[in-house]
Amino acid sequence: MPEVASVGPTEEEARKENNNIKVSKFPFIANGKALGMGEIEGMVKIIADVDTLELLGVHILGVHASDLIAEVTLDLSMEVTAFEIVNTIHAHPTLAEYHRRSGRRDNRQTYSSSPGIICYLLKKT
């Protein structure tokens, strides 16, 4: 059974407070470490404010979710923005690199090592 970890508001709660949010999802199947471990079930959802780029919430379902949430709780308590996370190094391959490993282009979800989930949030589309 996969682990579940969450910090901050859900997408629905965030939209009630502020409709100007970005939401991005990253499946574990797109993570090299998860693939190597044979643990491809799960995903990470990141919610951020479009105007300030501040992270509002992160929800993780999958292997080591309880470990992965620790970095995010620090990000939220320090009111870290997407710009600051982009400048944080995450080793490869690790589960924690989900911070920088997904983007969205042409209205469909794509995954690559760059520009990253946070860079997607930086796009004000």
Return the pLDDT at 116. Answer: 53
Listed in sequence order, the residues at least 6 apart from 52 whose beta carbon sits closer than 8 Å to its beta carbon are 81
pTM of the model: 0.79
pLDDT at 84: 78
Q: Which residue has the tokens 């589309």?
A: 125
**Residue 84 to residues 24, 108, 110, Cα–Cα distance (Å):** 17, 26, 23
What is the pLDDT, as a whole number, of residue 100? 55
Q: What does each of the 125 residues of the chain score in pLDDT, given as a tens digit? A: 789 999 999 999 999 998 899 888 888 888 888 999 999 999 999 898 888 888 899 999 999 999 999 988 998 899 887 777 777 777 778 888 776 543 333 233 444 434 455 555 555 44
Q: What is the DSSP letter of 81?
A: B
- 92 a catalytic residue: yes
Which of these is catalytic: 59, 64, 92, 99?
Answer: 92
Q: Which residues of 32-57 are buried (b: 16+ CB within 10 A; e: fewer)?
A: ebbeeeebeebbbbbbbbbeebbbbb
Structural domains of the chain, ranges and CATH numbers in brackets: 3-122 (3.30.390.30)
Q: How far apart are CA 40 and CA 36, in angstroms?
A: 9
